[in-house]
């Protein structure tokens, strides 16, 4: 349990690539990932090609952990297989059903990402989740030949640890029996202040590139262009535009 109690996002990898044996094991683990309703609405692409890693890194604000990863796993909310089967059997789905399938696909891809992260940690690697790929989702879908009705949702950098981050503050997200609104809000405000102080240190040391602070409008960037792009991309997936 210590591995999980002390888990942190690793931003500094050595650059050593994942060996074939580990890729094969990781592939089997990903294929065994649980899904929300057994509809298998996700896919994963394991990337080790350096040119592709460099391209993803540049698109993702030049984050070094991507280009120096042993492998980068892209998780796809994938309705392609189900859509193709329906087309071949002349089954027409209404918009409500497509909306439901799209949400399940996003959930399944997210479950698979978390499952893979835990597996990579057990294999001795460091990891860092990447949600920013949604801001250039259409571009990465095209580059990696991802078909219509399938959408990149999350990335996972996996690598040999060069520098292990200090365990950053965590907000309590667990309640006993019922949700406590007052405690939830109060805890988050304190967490936000503590995290901001830690991120300032990490930016000065070159570990991270950006700082986000939810409670100070001058210091957070949730309304910035990348986040607007992410929102539009997710809307496109859900509404099947």
Digit-coded pLDDT (tens) for 154-169: 999 999 999 887 666 7
Cβ proximity of 143 and 55 under 8 Å: yes
Give the count of domains, the chain.
1
Domain presence at residue 52:
yes
- Take residue 236 and report the two structure tokens written for it: 């496109």
Cα(200)–Cα(217) distance, rounded to whole angstroms? 16
Tell me the HSE value of 158 on the side-chain side, using a 13 A CA sphere.
29
pLDDT at residue 52, rounded to an integer: 98
Domain presence at residue 203:
no
pLDDT at residue 1, rounded to an integer: 83
Domain presence at residue 39:
yes
CATH of the domain at 44: 3.40.109.10
Cα(191)–Cα(181) distance, rounded to whole angstroms? 15
Domain presence at residue 148:
yes
Domain presence at residue 206:
no
Domain presence at residue 222:
no
pLDDT at residue 214, rounded to an integer: 63
pLDDT at residue 210, rounded to an integer: 58
Q: How many CB atoms lie within 10 A of CB 200?
A: 14
pLDDT at residue 8, rounded to an integer: 84
Domain presence at residue 22:
yes
Query: Residues in the chain with pLDDT < 70?
Result: 166-168, 202-224, 241
Domain presence at residue 198:
no
Task: Please give the residue range of the domain that contains residue 134.
Answer: 2-164
């Amino acid at each position: 349990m210590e591995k999980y109690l002390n888990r942190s996002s690793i931003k500094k990898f050595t650059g050593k690539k994942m060996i074939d044996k580990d890729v094969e094991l990781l592939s089997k683990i990903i294929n065994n990932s649980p899904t929300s309703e057994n509809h298998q609405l996700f896919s994963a692409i394991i990337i080790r090609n350096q040119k592709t890693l460099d391209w993803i890194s540049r698109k993702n604000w030049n984050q070094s952990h991507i280009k120096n990863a042993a492998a980068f796993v892209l998780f796809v909310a994938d309705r392609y297989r189900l859509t193709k089967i329906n087309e071949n059997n002349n089954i027409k789905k209404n918009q409500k059903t497509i909306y439901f399938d799209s949400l399940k696909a996003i959930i399944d891809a997210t479950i698979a990402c978390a499952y893979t992260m835990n597996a990579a940690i057990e294999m001795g690697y460091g990891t860092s989740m990447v949600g920013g790929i949604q801001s250039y989702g259409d571009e990465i879908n095209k580059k990696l030949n991802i078909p219509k009705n399938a959408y990149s949702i999350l990335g996972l950098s996996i690598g040999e640890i060069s520098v292990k981050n200090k365990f950053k503050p965590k907000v309590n997200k667990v309640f006993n029996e019922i949700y406590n609104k007052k405690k939830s809000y109060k805890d988050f405000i304190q967490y936000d202040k503590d995290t901001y102080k830690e991120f300032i240190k990490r930016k000065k040391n070159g570990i991270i590139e950006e700082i986000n602070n939810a409670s100070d409008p001058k210091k957070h960037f949730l309304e910035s262009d990348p986040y607007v792009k992410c929102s539009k991309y997710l809307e496109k997936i859900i509404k099947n535009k």
